[in-house]
Amino acid sequence: MPRKSPFVIVLSRSERALLESRAKKYTLPYRDVIRAKIVLYAAAGLENKEIARRLDTSPPIVCKWRKRYFHYGIDGLQEMPRRAAAKRRTPESRG
């Protein structure tokens, strides 16, 4: 039996309207359109596997964006800063 996501999405009218607008725009980056669709499908009660199948993506990706929206709202769908890579020491700097 499939496991239900603990991150239940409930949208206000304004949130739904904004996400539906994003999901239909061809001028937005593809990633933004997919993220909006993930949240809309999650709000409709679909499970992560079904959303992934419909959008031709992986369940972990769906889980990530559902969880981010649950915790941060619409701002959670934006790119967040990533950690910088560790600086490598060159033989010259080791002295």
Q: Rounded mean pLDDT of 30-36?
A: 94
Output 79-85 pairs: Cβ under 8 A, ≥24 positions apart. Answer: none
Three-state secondary structure call for residue 71: helix
69 Cβ contact partners less than 8 Å away, ≥ 6 residues apart = 7, 9, 38, 39, 42, 76, 77
pLDDT of 74 above 70: yes
Give the chain's domains with CATH numbers: 13-77 (1.10.10)
pLDDT confidence of residue 49: 94
pLDDT of 1 above 60: no
| Confidence class for position 93, pLDDT limits 50, 70, 90 | low
pTM of the shown model: 0.80
